[in-house]
Amino acid sequence: MARNFARVLLAATLALLAIPDARAAWPERPITLLVASPSGSPVDVVARLIGPGMAAAFGQPVVVQNVPGSAGVIGVERLTRSAPDGYTLGLSGDAAVVVRVSMEPPPPYDPRRDLAPISLLAAAPNLLFVANGVPARDVQELVALARARPGALSFAHTGPGTSQHIAGELLRQMASIDIVGVSYNNVGAQMQDVLAERVTMTFASAVTTLPRIRAGEGRALGVSSAERIAAAPEIPTVAEQGFPGFAAAAWFGLLAPAGTPLAVVDRVHRDAVAALRAPALQSRLQELGIQPVGGTPTEFSELIDREIPRMAAVLEGARLRAR
């Protein structure tokens, strides 16, 4: 009897050892990367540049799927509703992850509860861009123009809570000027109206503005980040031009649904950062005015925790629908 029991126990143990560890086997099939932004946007550009390197490291395809809408909220919501198995990842910007959290109506998720941060991949400063006919050559001249014509100047942006919107509101607050925000559904229409001077200015990504600047279609008066960008080091920051502390750059981070195994999060982080550090990819991103970052999951989580209250204060100052 004891001998038979020992045989059964041994057989059961061997059977358990033969079952593959799902976490160790990951990934066994293609990974979907949800991009909470339209095709051609800076977030999409980052996804499509880093995707091949991640796929090579994983040994599985990385399929980019654009899920635009509501400043990224729709894409992030879909990510939070995905199975936490590592086969659905997300790439989103600051608007959906930190800004919209403090706006009414609130998004149907809490990033601190429903997301697993993996890595802050890149930052993308916006350029304060105007058409050639606008009679201002720097930020101080633009501010003087706005003060001379209260309520007459306007700034275009791609929706409430986006970095473009936040940058315009910060300039309005810090310079104590009366300028009007105008929201657009797409970048193309936004830029057409700025170039036609139907709207005075915009804070738009370097990906969008640098080709137009180089073609002589318009001018950049300043950079929205704390530091100048490598792609156009001759353009001073807004902070340098009399507004110290001005900072409103977009950033893009890699995320997973909450509950994704830590081993998978660590693997994705390691392979994504390795892909991001490829010299050719770094050079290409910098040419586009995008700064590679590649932080740890802890650093990304801490950034989210810091930025939510900071953006809430900006929204309150702008008298927007802050919670």
Cis, bond preceding 27 (omega within 30 deg of 0):
yes
What are the structural domains of the chain? 30-124+249-317 (3.40.190.150), 126-241 (3.40.190.10)
Q: How many CA atoms lie within 13 A of 105 on its CB side?
A: 5
Token pair listed for 10: 């041994």
Whole-angstrom CA distances from 299 to 32, 112, 120, 269, 294 are 24, 13, 8, 12, 10
> What b-and-e string marks burial along 282-294, b requiring 16 or more CB atoms within 10 Å of the CB?
eeebeebbbbbbb
CA-closest candidate to residue 121, choices 272, 298, 301, 228: 272
Compute the mean pLDDT over every residue in the chain, rounded to the nearest whole number.
90
Percent helix, strand, coil in the chain, to 5, is 45, 20, 35
Whole-angstrom CA distances from 66 to 2, 37, 88, 157, 255 are 61, 6, 13, 20, 15
Give the total residue count for the chain. Answer: 323
| pTM, two decimal places | 0.82
One digit per residue, the tens of pLDDT, for the chain of length 323 reads: 444 444 444 444 444 444 334 445 899 999 999 999 888 888 999 999 999 999 999 999 999 999 998 889 999 999 999 999 999 999 999 999 999 998 888 899 999 999 999 999 999 899 999 999 999 999 999 999 999 999 999 999 988 888 899 999 999 999 999 999 999 988 889 999 999 999 999 999 898 899 999 999 999 999 999 999 989 999 999 999 999 999 888 899 999 999 999 999 999 999 999 999 999 999 999 988 899 999 999 999 999 999 999 888 878 766 665 44
pLDDT at 161: 84
Cβ of 29: how many Cβ atoms within 10 Å?
9
